[in-house]
Amino acid sequence: MMIDYKKLNLKCGLEIHQQLDTRKLFCDCSSAMKNEQILTIKRKQHVVAGELGEVDFAAQYEFLRNRTFHYQIFSGEDCLVECDEEPPHPVNRKALEIALQIALLFNCTIPDEIHVMRKTLIDGSAISGFQRTTIVGLNGYLKYKDKKIEIKHVSLEEDAAGIVEESAGNVTYKLNRLAIPLVEIGTGLLIGHTPQEIQEIAYLIGIVCRSTGKVKRGIGTVRQDVNVSIKGGKRVEIKGVQTLGLLSKVIELEVKRQLSLPEVKEETRAVNPDGTTRFIRPLPGAARLYPETDIPPISIDKKTIERIKKRLPEPWTKKLIRFKKQLKLSDELSKQILRSDYLDLFEKIVKKFKVSPSVVANVFVSTLKDLRKRGEAPVENLTDEDFEELFGLLEKGKIVKESILDILLYKSKNLDISIKDCIKKLELETITEKELREIVKDVIKMNRDKPVEKIIGIVMSKVRGRVKSENVVKVVKEECNK
C-alpha cells in the first residue's frame, strides 16, 4: 500500500542527541566508558514536588511503578557528583564551546546568558532525579533542498545513565554514561515531508555536528527522538532511534499503526531493533524544567562568539565538493564518508599520509561495515592510533590494501598488541618482487602443464595479502613467457 504522506498531513518533529567527545559536563570524570566497575549502589526514587508545587504526570506514573534502582559505579568515570553527593562543578568549557559552535553552524541566535535548568527524570536514569540542561542557541535553520528547515533550539545537556537490565521492581543502570555532554538539536515541525526526507534531514543534522570533529562515534553516541502525528490524530513521541538508517522505517510503521487504530492516545513509545515501537508511558506534561540553583548563570560575551565564529569548520557542502574534486572520490563515496562517524579521522589520515583517499574512505565505509557484520569483536575496539599506524604502514609499502580487513579483524580481537605485531602474526608483511619471482618460478616448475590463469590462482593463494594482485599477474606472465 502506497501512503500519501502529504494527504495525511504527516507532521514530525526531530530531536537529535549527540554525545560530545570531552570529559563530563559538571565534573572532571572521563567519558570513555572503558574502565572497570568498582561497586554498585542502591536507591529508591522520589518525585520532586517541592520546587514547582506540581508533580509532573509522567513523573508520577514512573513513581507509581515503585522500583528499586541499582547503579554500577566505574573507576575514573564516576565521582560524588554523578552520585548526587556533591554539587556540580562549573560547566565544562570545552563542551560549552563545541555546543556553541554547533549552534552557530545552525545559524542560531546565542543568548547573552546561559541558564542551567533541571529536567525531571524519574525513570531512575539519574540518581538526583533530574538531568541538567541549558539552551545555547535558538531560532536557527538548516538548508535542505532549497528550503530552510527550522532549528528551534540547540541545548547542551547531561546524558542520562544507560540501562543494563530491568526485572520485576528492579532496574540496573551504568552510571558512567551519566553526565557525558550531549548536544540536543530540536527542529520545528516538519510538515509535508516523506519519512525518507525526514531521515535525510536527520542525516544532515548529524553531518553538521560531526563537522566539528569533537563528537563521539559508535552505537549509542547518537540517539534520535521523533514525534509523529497525522491529520486529526494525536502526537506520539518515539524515543531512542539509535541507527540513522532506521528512522524512515520507524516513521512509516508509526503512521501505519496510527492509521490502524480507531483512536490514538498521546504517548511516549520506545523503538525495537526492527523499527517497530512499544508503549513506555503517557506523554510527559510541561512541568518538567526548573532552575539549577547550584550553578550561576554563565554570560556569553560578544568576543567569545566572534572568536568561535572565526574558527568554524568548513561547511559540509564545501567539503562534499572538495572530496570529489581534490580527493577524486566518487559522489557516492563522498556522501558516505560525510555521513560516517569517521569523517574527522578520514580527513586527518589523508592529510598526514600519502595514501589513496578512496582506499582510506573505503576502509571507513565498507571494511568497517563488513567487520560489524561479522560481529567477532566490536569495531569500537579500534582506536585512532591503530588506524594511523595502519595507514602509515600502507604508505611505506609494508602492507597491501588487500590485507587491511584481516589486520583490522585481528587487531579488534587482540587489544594489547600493535598493528605491526598483528601483521607479523598474520604473516602479512609484503614480499619483494624478487621473492615473488622465486615463488612464481617454483609454482611453474611444479605445474608445467597448467594454463597461465591456473598458475596465477595458485600463486595468489600463496601470497594473498602480501603483494598487489596486479604484480602477481605481471610476474607470472613474464615468467611463463620465458
Q: Which is nearer to Zn ion, 12 or 81 (CB)?
A: 81
Minimum CB distance to Zn ion smaller for 24 or for 119: 24
The smaller minimum CB distance to Zn ion, of residues 87 and 192, is found at 87
Contact between 10 and 205 (Cβ < 8 Å)? no
Burial level of 460, CB count in 10 A (0-12/13-18/19+)? middle
Nearer to Zn ion among residue 27 and residue 244 (C-beta): 27
- Give the footprint of Zn ion on this chain (CB under 5 A): 27, 29, 79, 81-82
Enter the C-alpha cell of residue 281. 508511558
CB-nearer residue toward Zn ion: 25 or 338: 25
CB of 75 to Zn ion, least distance (A): 11
- Picking from 177, 96, 163, the residue whose alpha carbon sits closest to that of residue 123 is 163
Least distance to Zn ion, CB of residue 267, Å: 34
The residues pairing with 190 across neighbouring beta strands, listed in sequence order, are 12
DSSP result, 146-175: TEEEEEEEEEEEEPPPEEEEEETTEEEEEG
* Dist CA 435 CA 429 (whole Å): 12
Give phi and psi for 451, each to the nearest 5: -70, 165
Least separation in angstroms between CB 71 and Zn ion: 13
CA distance 111 to 274: 40
Which residue, 29 or 361, has its beta carbon nearer to Zn ion?
Answer: 29
CB of 180 to Zn ion, least distance (A): 10
C-beta of 157: minimal distance to Zn ion in Å? 16
| Shortest Å, Cβ 160 to Zn ion | 14
Q: Could you tell me whether strands 113-114 and 68-74 are parallel, antiparallel, or unpaired per DSSP bridges?
A: unpaired
Distance CA 220, CA 222 (A): 5
Q: Could you say which DSSP state residue 13 is in? A: E
Q: From the CB of 35, what's the least distance to Zn ion, in Å? A: 12
Helix axes 343-352, 195-210, angle to 10 degrees: 50
For Zn ion, the closer of residues 86 and 478 by Cβ is: 86
**Residue 193 burial (CB count, 10 A):** 21
